[in-house]
Structure 1
Amino acid sequence: MRIIIAGGSVGGLFVSELLRRDGHDVTLLERSALGLEGRGAGLVAQSEVFDMLREAGVAHLATFGVVARERIHLDRAGAIVHRQATPQTQLSWDRLFRTFRERVPEGGYVGGRAVTGVTQEARRARVHLADGGVEEADLVIAADGLGSTLREAVAGPGAQPAYAGYVAWRGLVPEAAMPPEAAATLFERFAFHDMPGSQALGYLVPGADGAIERGRRRYNWVWYRRYTPEELAGVLTDAEGQRHDFSLAPGQMAPAAADALRADAARLLPPAFAAAVAAEPRPFVQAIFDYEAPRLVAGRLALTGDAAFVARPHTAMGVAKAAGDAFALRDALAGQPDLAGALAAYERARLPHGRAVVEYGRRLGAFLG
């Protein structure tokens, strides 16, 4: 079949890899013209991700990770009040993305082409683009993430994620930029600090180029904080005064807002976490959302990844969920004689799983929202 995937991040690349290997003619259309490398931190790989690496013949990527030897909890003064030996490996999102991006044949990945909608006939679908172009396909797959433009074509009007009541302030600090005292407390560990309605956590991840050697890694910190919907509008307003729907990228935050964040960290967080926040020159923020699609297919259009289900980051299941969707879609298309039957099988397989992951995220984040 001729297949178009809207969205060129890791989830879209997983689908492309599997369907191309099954002989389909696949093109990914990515809205960003600048590329997506450098946008990811570390990811905790679940079994579906390892399955994908083996399927693609790149299982060696699983060895390029940073290991946190234990989990620790800090009190406000910075003392370790609880520790548990639970080794965990953070792989490089950037290296994963780059590897699967490089596997796409020439012309199969097109940046700077934003999909705005899909229209369908009995035997074809038409993908409409922001530049006025139209592309035809037998099957269209929406892998366009949290802010999916195609979700409503499947799930109906108003099918948008619901704000969970809190945001994640974030930073990615080069290892060498971390103050020594903070590094001594936080490095080689998965660290937490809990307070009423808030949580800070952090861990080492590979460097921007996937490096895992000491001195070339990055410290990834996250600070969950509550905000009312009215306050959220201010949190997501950038330095130019423009309001964003879901997040602010590094460099978009107003300097005064970044200074206020650092001052709050010094007042509220353990010294090591406050130092990590202070060491990040370009903090960024993402609001936390929930979403469950009531259905995953409509005609020749199928939802995958965060276009279908948005689960809170506490689950560490975002990339794994996308990989599972890709496998289920591949298997359904290979195992059914007609497209309608295949997409129905895909929906039956993934609806219960997606709902379970979203509910799991709600339970994990209940003390924050």
Structure 2
Amino acid sequence: MKPMRIRIVGGSLAGLFIGNLLQRDGHDVKIYERSSSGLAGRGAGLVGQRELFKILRVLGCEHLAHVGVVAKERIYLNRDGGVAEVFSTPQTQISWDVLYATVASHLPMDSYVVGRAVKNVAETPQGVRLTFEGNETEEAELVIGADGMGSVVRGFVSRENRNEFAGYVAWRGLIPETALPAEVSILVDRFAFYIVRGVHMLGYLVPGQNGEMEKGKRRYNWVWYRLVPHAELAALFTGVDGRTFEYSLPRGALSETRLQTLRQDAFSVLPPQFAQVVEAEPLPSIHGIFDYEAERMVSRRVALVGDAAFVVRPHTAMGVAKAAGDALALREALSRSDNLAEALARYEHERLPVGKEIAAYGRRLGASAL
């Protein structure tokens, strides 16, 4: 494909992956991220998958696969805190923060623009027009929607663009390893679970924010999946200042009263070790679990990647790998043809069934977990 003017909406890992690849191929690439501060510091750990390792090799970042914490085994706890099962399945939690920062650093500074929210996408005879908040516009030959669950771009490509609530949410905490109570030492260096009907809790160590892997400099990441009626979501995602969020409640937005209720709930239903790590988190966040499957991934001059195309449940541990696979496939399709429509059709043909398969897998895991 001859060099094109390509604009990417969304600056998380999906946008960074495809932006780096296409810039290497000589295209004029710019990424627009709606957050005014970027996305640094928003991740914890992620499980490496084949597609992620492949894109890291392509980008010359293979070393990032080793910036992680190894959980030497999986343990499943009883309600009283005893160990019910042990499985020798070592797993490495790669640092999301370091991955994001390193991949972003491979782009020229002026090609990654924060605080630039796109509110509309429209195809024109000449190409694609982006309209930003403030009504400024920009023309491109190809637009890539990498703007995640709240995608603006997907509504242009696919008639149905609503995320479907799965019936539960994830409460999350991320605390310094030094803040772990001594009584929870059994959780250290292990991937720990507590799963009974209606309750699903897990936790594991991840690197420090700058990739630190030394003991005492790591962080403990916990996730507690809890069933929630759809009618209660608005209240759940309303912060102490009265602001309501659509899909989550960020760190620091929980009132002291609700924080104390969370801690009481933890001690009433969780093993004592997990209840204590919940208590040790002063600023938990809440993330709704949603499903979305695009019926189309492309139009004439627009393509979707990552969560903009398929929102898959976190139990799969495949969200980042899926984004990497999308980026690699789109780059390959564009490089193999001088006809944009043909290239986008090839991309969709390859990745649409993959997204559907991963989404279905996530629903099965969610049903078995809760």
Task: Map 1:1-369 to 2 at 5 A.
Answer: 1-156=4-159, 158-182=160-184, 184-368=185-369
Instruction: Find the residue that maps to 2:138 and give its secondary structure.
Output: strand
User: What CA distance in whole angstroms lies between the structure 1 residues aligned with 2:135 and 2:259?
Assistant: 38
Shift of 1:368: 5.0
Check the 8 A contact 1:166/1:368 in 2, yes or no. no
User: Following TM superposition, by how much is the alpha carbon of 1:36 offset from its aligned partner in structure 2, in angstroms?
Assistant: 0.9
Once structures 1 and 2 are overlaid, which stretch shifts more, 252-261 or 15-24? Answer: 252-261
CA distance in 1, matches of 2:6, 2:273: 49
- Decide whether the 8 Å contact of 1:139 with 1:300 is kept in 2: yes
Cα drift, residue 131 of structure 1:
2.7
2:99 and 2:162 map into 1 onto residues whose CA distance is 28
Q: What's the % identity of the aligned pairs?
A: 54
Matched pairs, number? 367
- Note the C-alpha offset of 1:297: 0.8
In structure 2, give the amino acid aligned to 1:160: R
Matched AA of 1:137: A
Q: Matches of 2:156 and 2:198 in 1, distance apart? A: 36
CA shift for structure 1 position 28 = 0.2
Displacement of 1:35 in angstroms is 1.8
RMSD over aligned CA atoms reads 0.9
Cα pair 1:168 1:222 within 8 Å, conserved? yes
Secondary structure (helix, strand or coil) at the match of 1:39 reads coil
Deviation of residue 305 (structure 1)? 0.3
Q: Describe the superposition over 1:75-109 as per-residue Cα deviations: whole angstroms up to 9, x where unpaired.
A: 01000010000000000000000001111113101
Supply the AA of the counterpart residue of 1:165.
G
2:356 and 2:113 mapped to 1: Cα distance?
A: 32
2-structure distance, mates of 1:119, 1:197: 44
Letter in 2 for 1:179: P
Distance 2:269 2:112 in 1: 45
How many Å separate the matches in 2 of 1:367 and 1:260? 27
Aligned partners of 2:195 and 2:369 also within 8 Å: no
Moved more, 334-343 or 306-315: 334-343
Distance in 2, Cα, partners of 1:202 & 1:46: 19
Q: Deviations over 1:119-172 (max 9, x none)?
A: 11133111110132111110000000011111111101x411100000000000
Cα distance in 2 for partners of 1:131, 1:249 equals 26
Q: 2 CA distance for matches of 1:73 and 1:55? A: 37
Aligned letter for 2:61?
V
TM score, norm. by length of structure 1: 0.98
User: What is the TM-score when the length of structure 2 is the normalising length?
Assistant: 0.98
Cα separation, 2, equivalents of 1:223 and 1:75:
16
What is the deviation of 1:236? 1.0
Any idea what SS the aligned residue of 2:368 has? coil
Matched AA of 1:87: P
